[in-house]
Amino acid sequence: MTILVTGGAGYIGSIVVEQLAEQGAEVVVFDNLFQGHRAAVHPKAKFIQGDLADVAAVKQLFAAHTIESILHFASYTLVGESMEKPFKYLGDNVTNGLNLLQAATDAGVKHFILSSTANLFDQPERLPIAETERIVPGSPYGESKFILERFLHWLDITKNLRFTALRYFNAAGASPERGEDHDPETHLIPVVLSVAQGKRQQITIFGNDYPTPDGTCIRDYVHVLDLAQAHILALKALQAGGPSRQYNLGIGKGYSIQEVIAAARKITGHAIPAVIGPRRPGDPAELIASPAAIQRELGWQPHYTELETIVGDAWRWFQKNPNGYEK
Ligand code: UDP
């Protein structure tokens, strides 16, 4: 039984593929390599370069493989960009997801895991954020994921497609072999570490007038290995006949931008100069997950909860791969 991983050449997808492949699963990766890297795909996985916008290619993919389960990572993922290019998100992210869902339901796929996001919760009334929190997408990016969650809700009822939506808080860190390599890079931890690598002069902190103790935004950074583990558990639960579910996926602890920079200074021994810039549109002040539901129902336990471990693992990967996946 084949597992299809869209976006399996990307940061989180490639590390989930690594874990699946090492457990002996039969994995097909479908990725357009806009953001992903061929070298990130585990050698035991089959790789197909293709685009979910290409309906014929998607049909061909399902005609050629008997796919039982899908993990759908392929997506545009930037909150800030989505505020400038809403159609890329509300258009492409949604349309590409629907092309996949159409083909999947036509082919009788049984299980679907969606990469969803904490950006569903722009104005949380309670922290940490539980699944019962009111959904208010913070950007076209968050809305695009919410729309796909709603489609899944109805495909569960009408097409027997069981799904898990994993609402990632902030993915960070690396496996020994695979890490974060975006172009352009916009995420906080890799940008901070690129200053220590000498690739940037300084880090700009997007706003220090938020209602948080040090004025900078607080995020729940979850190690990508723990994130990957959650996908494996979610898939096993669906394969065992479990119900469709949505889970908030973070460690339940938040760190400010200033704390991330301080941890990076300590780990790298570099001064990492920081300047304050304007707020980035679409950024909520504080996002911390309550992982209670996924812990209780799937037995998920994060193993790497210290900021220094998370930033340290990212740093190790960058030191080993100073130019990312480019040789
Ligand atoms: N951030 C920042 N400077 C940067 C990149 C990010 O101050 O160069 C902030 C960003 O505004 C947010 C936090 O760091 O408050 C985490 O941003 P990131 O893009 O890593 O993840 P997001 O929370 O948007 O998914």
Residue 327 has pLDDT above 80, yes or no: no
Q: Assess whether the previous peptide bond of 184 is cis (omega < 30° from 0).
A: yes
Map tokens 């709603």 to a residue: 150
Cβ atoms within 10 Å, residue 174? 26
Q: What is the CATH number of the domain that holds 18?
A: 3.40.50.720
Q: Is the CB of 280 under 6 A from ligand 1?
A: yes
Is the pTM higher than 0.95? The answer reads yes
Q: Which residues pair with 167 in a beta bridge?
A: 116, 248
Q: Is the CB of 55 under 6 A from ligand 1?
A: no
Q: Are residues 61 and 124 in the same domain?
A: yes
Q: Report the interhelical angle of 188-196 vs 307-320 (nearest 10°).
A: 60
Ligand 1 pocket, mutate which of 121, 139, 201, 206 (most atoms under 8 A from CB) = 206
Q: Are residues 113 and 199 in the same domain?
A: no
pLDDT-derived band at 281, boundaries 50, 70, 90: confident
Q: What is the CATH number of the domain that holds 298?
A: 3.90.25.10
Q: Are residues 158 and 257 in the same domain?
A: no
| Whether the Cβ atoms of residue 73 and residue 96 lie closer than 8 Å to each other | no
Q: Are residues 53 and 153 in the same domain?
A: yes
Ligand 1: residue whose CA is nearest its atom 23: 170
31-83: pLDDT as tens digits: 999 999 999 999 999 999 999 999 999 999 999 999 999 999 999 999 889 99
Q: Is the CB of 316 under 6 A from ligand 1?
A: no
Q: Assess whether the previous peptide bond of 137 is cis (omega < 30° from 0).
A: no
- Alpha helix (H) ranges present in the chain? 11-22, 55-64, 79-84, 86, 94-106, 140-159, 188-196, 224-239, 257-268, 292-298, 307-320
Rounded Cα gap, residues 322 and 327, in angstroms:
9
108-155: pLDDT as tens digits: 999 999 999 999 999 899 999 999 999 999 999 999 999 999 999 999
Q: Are residues 238 and 315 in the same domain?
A: no
**168 CA distance to ligand 1 middle (Å):** 14
Q: Are residues 167 and 286 in the same domain?
A: no
Q: Which of 200, 295, 310 is nearest to 255 (CA)?
A: 310
Q: Is the CB of 279 under 6 A from ligand 1?
A: no
